[in-house]
Amino acid sequence: MAYVNVMDQGARGDGKTDDSNAILSAWKRVCGMEGPATLLIPSGKVFLVTRLQLSGPCKFTSVFIKFAGKIIPPTKDAWVGDTEGWMRISYVNGLTIDGEGGIIDGLGSSWWPCKKSCQRPVALSFHACNNLVVNSLTMANSPGAHISIDDCNGATFSQMNITAPGNSPNTDGFDIATSKYITIQDSIIGTGDDCIAINSGSSYINATRVFCGPGHGISIGSLGKDGSYATVEEVYVRNCSFIGTTNGARIKTWPEKAVMVSEVTYRGFVGTSATDDAIDLKCSTLGCFGITFDNVQIVSSQPTKPAFASCNNAHGTATNTVPKVTFEMKSETSRAKKT
């Protein structure tokens, strides 16, 4: 396999010089090779990246990124151009990223005070990347969401470590939209917003052995804003732990909208909820169907307080679940006290 070291393409790795063009140059060489090739971001270096767009398709059926160094952005005051995204990988199939030893630090503290008037950039976005594999990547302190996945078919994220303070706004671990067959497994996610947010057009989403906290838990939605039609189906949350999250399981839809959520399974996860509603299912008038809870144990993070399950227009089954989940055929909210 051929290796292309970003240092050989002019990167300085001193944390002060903009290395965006050097990394892009190395990527173009890797993407243009006829056989397997690896982009190498070496250890012991800090790479300042102002904006990075790695695009395909590549000539060979699979490409690799070995990421062992540290990547940082400019601060908010030094940011130039739009804020839609910081690093974006698009139209690259068969990409494998090995992040062992590397870290992406978004230096988000300069952005977080600007909650509403600023469009805070996503740290790392994957668009239309099929058969993607990302292993052992550490990310911290993104200005906005840490990882965005859209229009992807087939992606596996393993041994991820994503952290940001619990009061950092909208720093989701993963935002998934219009994608299918996405797996997040054996990972630790603790941020100021959703650990995993599953948005419209997503199906066959698997979260397995994920430790979540702080944050808002694993959320479906919010769906149907501004009257848009939205669907999410085939979501499986298995053997996950939640510590001090706002909720454990949450479905968020705008009422009276054309939103359909179906075939969602929560199985074998435990944890503590920082709010009364450990399970919070708010489904539109179309309802959520095929919801399954099996061996779920979520209690309040405050030992003397009870936890509840709040269900609106949700239909399914619950077995060995605390708090007790009561599915109603009517649209009124059912509030079942913990037993």
- A 10 A CB-CB count for 34 gives 8
DSSP string for 147-207: EEEES-EEEEEES-EEE--TTSTT--SEEEES-EEEEEEEEEEE-SS-SEEE-TTEEEEEE
**HEC letters along 81-120:** CCCCEEEEEECCCCEEEECCCCEEECCHHHCCCCCCCCCC
Which tokens hold the place of 314?
């949700």
Size (the chain), residues:
339
Q: Cβ(299)–Cβ(267) under 8 Å?
A: no
Q: Cβ(291)–Cβ(237) under 8 Å?
A: no
216 in active site:
yes
CA–CA dist 116, 283 (Å, integer): 26
Query: How do strand 308-312 and strand 334-337 relate by DSSP bridges?
Result: antiparallel
Q: Cβ(19)–Cβ(5) under 8 Å?
A: no
Q: Which amino acid is at 3?
A: Y
Which tokens hold the place of 167?
């009061």
- Out of 127, 146, 216, 315, pick the active-site residue: 216
Q: What residues are labeled active site?
A: 216
